[in-house]
Amino acid sequence: MAWFRRDREKPGESANEIVSRARQLGGGKAPATFISATALVFSGFSLWESSLKQAELSVYVTGVVAYERDLTADEYIQPAGGFEVLAVPVTIANSGARDGPVLALALDVKNPKTGLTARFEGTYTADAAYFANTGAKRPKAPFSALVIAGRSAWTGTVLFYPVSYSNGKALTPVRTVAAFNDELRKKYASEMGGASSISVLREKRPNLPELAELDAYRAKVLNQNEKVEMTLRLIRPLPRGWLDRALGTPVEPVTLTLDMPDIPADRVARGELVRLRNVEARL
């Protein structure tokens, strides 16, 4: 009878054993589910990084910044002493997946000594020929809007020209300034004693208000042995939708402090290129 009972129990299983095995079999699905979920997460991350990630731009200025005064413009638009020009080597990198448009480059410049500020804009781009040419007219190309492709970078030398000054008169055309000088010569002919140079009048009547106005016409943000603080910013299109506003990242500006070496003022006035010194790099 004992043998018969054991034989009957052999093909049959208790309810507890069935439940135990069911649990064991069901537990095998958990790793597969985890693997599938992990694969889905990595697939979504890969899609985001390769196609959906918003443009993420970074700006770098690591080369030599040069300064000159452009004397080639027409007298109806050229300010007295020429346009101040800053040649800045710029690299814009895009670590995002989508293209990053850049409409313009703005450069805010301040002279701590004089308090004069100016807004410059990227107007031209230049290559090696611009720096190799010693003539009055150096080759340059108009600056246009940029589109930085995803996972790429753009590098170039941008020529920044002034578009406004804090005194409001520094961009007065040289033709207007020349007419103002003629009026001074006529008005103060007796003090000048037949001389043509306004410096004679300045020696005799240094406090004339007209001379202060003349100085405002000739003001420059950077002069011999002076220092300027610069901030470079990218001008980008406004966000087109809620996704751009939510996921877009602002581009951090680049700040520099540069000074003009003790170079003869007449060389700058002739339009020669001057290499500016980076104050931070020397600290």
Look at residue 37 in the predicted model and tell me its pLDDT: 61
Q: Residue 18 pLDDT more than 80?
A: no
117 burial (CB, 10 Å; 0-12 / 13-18 / 19+) is middle
Least confident residue range of 104-108, 126-130, 192-196, 222-226: 192-196
Average pLDDT rounded to a whole number, residues 5-26? 50
Give the pLDDT confidence score for residue 122 in this predicted structure. 98
Q: Please state, in angstroms and as integers, the Cα–Cα distance from residue 113 to each residue in 56, 228, 262, following that order.
A: 36, 9, 16
Residue 185 pLDDT greater than 80, yes or no: yes
Q: What is the pLDDT of residue 268?
A: 86
Residue 24: exposed, middle, or buried by beta-carbon count in 10 A (0-12, 13-18, 19+)? exposed
Specify the higher pLDDT residue, 136 or 51: 136
Q: How many CB atoms lie within 10 A of CB 86?
A: 25
- For the domain covering 57-170+219-282, report its CATH number: 2.60.40.10
Name the region of 151 (left: φ>0; alpha: ψ -120 to 50; beta: rest).
left
Cα(272)–Cα(70) distance, integer angstroms: 9
Q: How far apart are CA 79 and CA 182, in angstroms?
A: 17
User: What are the domain boundaries of the chain?
Assistant: 15-52, 57-170+219-282
pLDDT of the residue at 263? 86
Q: Is the pTM of this model over 0.75?
A: yes
Q: pLDDT digit string (tens) for 27-85?
A: 555 666 666 666 555 555 454 444 457 889 999 998 899 999 999 999 999 999 999 99
Question: What is the chain's mean pLDDT, rounded?
Answer: 84
Percent of all residues in the chain with a pLDDT value above 70, rounded to a whole number: 77
What pLDDT is stored for residue 5 in this prediction?
44
